[in-house]
Amino acid sequence: MNIKDHLAYIIASVNKQLEDELQERLRVVGLPIEQMRILKVLADSDGLPMGELAAQALVEPTTLTKIIDRMVAEGLVSRLLDADDRRRVLIALAPGGRLVLRRLTRITTSQEARLSKRVPKAKLHELRTLLRGLAGS
């Protein structure tokens, strides 16, 4: 079987294409794709511990600390003590991050709209379901 027929190769190829396109649009905002994912994940929470944030944002835990340090310095996120466990630190969206998130939403919504034009709506729903099944979520 040719490598281009392997499912993993096809998925990786599509992922690369989508991430390259998104990264190009994010340059306008001056934000790396990892930071976009972090902001998007944090938008749906009141704060997350580093391990959970790394898993949801698809960022290596060893890399996440440096990224979060930069984002704290830029006023995009903040570190908070967990009210239930004062030893645990949570990462939360800061006001500056909420402002950037509004611009990001336009960019990601635009990408979703372009995908919707390339794939019929019913098939897009089916594709999401199939990919989530492959991802185990």
Written out in words, the top-level CATH class of the domain with range 3-131 is: mainly alpha
Query: What pLDDT, in 10s, does the model give residues 76-129?
Result: 999 998 788 778 899 999 999 999 998 888 898 999 888 888 888 889 889 889
Domain boundaries, given as residue ranges, for the chain: 3-131
Query: What pLDDT, in 10s, does the model give residues 5-43?
Result: 888 999 999 999 999 999 999 998 889 999 999 999 999
Instruction: Supply the pTM of this predicted model.
Output: 0.85
Pairing of strands 77-81, 89-93: antiparallel
Q: How far is CA 84 from CA 56, 78, 93, in A?
A: 22, 18, 19
Q: How far apart are CA 116 and CA 125, in angstroms?
A: 10
